[in-house]
Amino acid sequence: MVGVIDEAQLFYPLGTRIKIANNYGTVKYVGEVNGHCGTWLGIEWDDGLRGKHNGMVDGKRYFQTQLPTAGSFIRPGKLGPCATLEDEARERYSNYDSKNVDTSLIREAQASMQASLFEVVGMDKIARKQSKFEQLSEVSVDETPVNAAGYLKDLSQLTTLNVSHTLIWNWEIVASITQQLPLLNSLNLGSNRLLLPTDKQVNELAPSFSHLKHINLGNCGFTDWQDVMQTALLWPDIESLSLQENALSQLAEVDCKKIFRQLRELDLHRTKLMDFDQVCKLGNISTLSVLNLIENGIEQLQLPDCEPHAKLNMFLSLEQLSLMQNPIWNETEAFNELDKLPQLKRLNKTPHLKSNFDEMFSKAVASIAGLQVINKAKVTAEERRGAEYDIWKKYALDWLQATKSGADALREFYKKHRSYLQIVNKYGSPADFVPRIQAKPSNLIKVHIQHRKTGEVWEKKVPRMITVQTLQGLVMKRFRLTGEIPQLCYIDAKHPELVVHLENNAKTLDFYSVQEHDTVLFE
């Protein structure tokens, strides 16, 4: 029996990855089980509901699982054969068939673009290229039983490799792959479980990863940020790192002299980072320009305090931030906090349930001075003027009261509305709007409605709460227009250089701050 156990331990050392049907697991024990003959493998399944226990059977502890029902025992003979990367790559790519272009590479492109649809042009050309094994630049063997490198020297042109959902289980295997592929720069190891490298292994293996630029470790079972930092010692100059779907609720400041020295992109979506204070611990990564925090349950953004006219000395290169699918409850406060970031230009965010894209867009543009793109929509100079004009009017009374209350009160006002000082410097004092707000005049306002082409003007008293759509109907009737519904905009009577487009026909004139004697233009 000892010889049988030794043989099993040789083929299945602790940490080995196995797969039965669609279920992946890790070998945690090799040996006998009381009351049962023969050799058994103790498995911790990735699916915590797949097993029957936590590694303890009949009062005896054989191994330990993270979840109470993630463990079970199986016979070694139940497992199928493993394969080398070389064998699986040749099997998948050596035979040309234009009807069987590698769909896994399409999925890889979808994931990298965060797109639900991906159109491939020139399928036949791609298939022909794939059939020439030595010329391959991209290879995917995901969901195969690969657990070794094999001979890979023929793949000398390979730059992108997907070995996600395989049976690779330690960094020695990964190093044996990368050291044979000198042009490899992008490596997807997602949904594998890799043993934590020791300091000795880091020193020995790090040279094998020096040419890598992009690594995907999504859904690799990380729960401790310290383990991520230990692993990152293997590739300290990586430029892009994906850690999506790892349960990393707590972070820690990194030593950028040892790791993340050139990190530009970091993907942390679905990592259970609900506290933005944890995210701030990454602020010393001075090269980071793109940060993905999609779907993390973040409810509030709070950055360190700084003077209203200043920027923070953190996230010095961060230009793009993705906050989609986070239940941030106060958009105004969140955008005011984001204005503290010195280089933020592109923002992705889902509107609040009680808001919509147009309202969120206006708030973000007015609050974040350097914002250029939100949800892929470019901010035009006209849209920025309109957004700033709205906030200029909205907080006019608060600003006036703060100026009368002294320097401390004004400073607190500017801390809550960081962009307002710049807006006042641009457009002047908003004090003219305060009497209007205080006086609460009639619900009717007189506006001048002018046809741009003919110059004809119609003076009309309308309710402040009239919708743009209703006003469009009145205009069509009064000017006897047919065909397309006229698009409206208005010029403020006291600030004629500002033109505000009434783009949302469900909103009221009051929403757009239309006041007495303003001019509504249409074509």
Q: Are residues 268 and 364 in the same domain?
A: yes
**Is the domain of 296 the same as that of 162?**
yes
Tell me the mean pLDDT in the region 57-74.
Answer: 94
State whether 473 and 356 are in the same domain.
no
- Over range 263-291, report the average pLDDT: 97
- Check residues 299 and 116 and name the one with the higher pLDDT: 299
CATH number at residue 43: 2.30.30.190
Same domain, 89 and 66: no
| 105 located within any domain | no
**Are residues 30 and 133 part of one domain?**
no
**Closest alpha carbon to 88 in 175, 166, 179:** 166
**Residues 243, 170 within the same domain:** yes
| pLDDT attached to residue 258 | 97
DSSP run (H or E) holding 57: strand 56-57
180 contacts: CB under 8 Å, gap ≥ 6: 149, 151, 152, 153, 155
**Which tens digits make up the pLDDT trace of 109-161?**
555 444 433 344 444 444 555 558 889 999 999 999 999 999 999 999 999 99
User: What's the mean pLDDT in 234-238?
Assistant: 98
Q: Residues 61, 129: one domain?
A: no
**% of the chain at pLDDT higher than 70:** 90
- Whether the pLDDT of residue 497 is over 90: the answer is no
Q: Cα(429)–Cα(422) distance, rounded to whole angstroms?
A: 11
The verdict on residue 406 lying in a domain is no
pLDDT reported for residue 510: 87
For residue range 29-47, what is the model confidence (pLDDT) as tens digits? 999 999 898 899 999 999 9
pLDDT over 90 at 325, yes or no? yes
Q: Which helix (H) or strand (E) holds 30?
A: strand 23-33
Residue 300 has pLDDT above 50, yes or no: yes
pLDDT of residue 232: 98
Question: Would you say 506 and 470 are in contact if contact means Cβ atoms under 8 Å apart?
Answer: no
The answer to whether residue 179 scores a pLDDT higher than 50 is yes
Residue 284 in domain: yes
Distance between terminal CA atoms of the chain?
Answer: 92
Cα(158)–Cα(181) distance, integer angstroms: 7
Same domain, 126 and 66: no
Phi, psi of 161 (to 5 degrees): -135, 130
In a domain, 330, yes or no: yes
58-64-66 Cα angle (round to 5): 125
Q: Which two tokens stand for residue 18?
A: 């196995």
| Model confidence at 364: pLDDT above 70 | yes
DSSP state of 267: E
d(CA 24, CA 50): 10
Rounded mean pLDDT of the chain?
A: 89
* Positive or negative torsion for Cα 337, 339, 340, 341: positive
Tokens of 401: 């009261």
Domain total for the chain? 3
Domain of 499, in residue numbers: 444-522
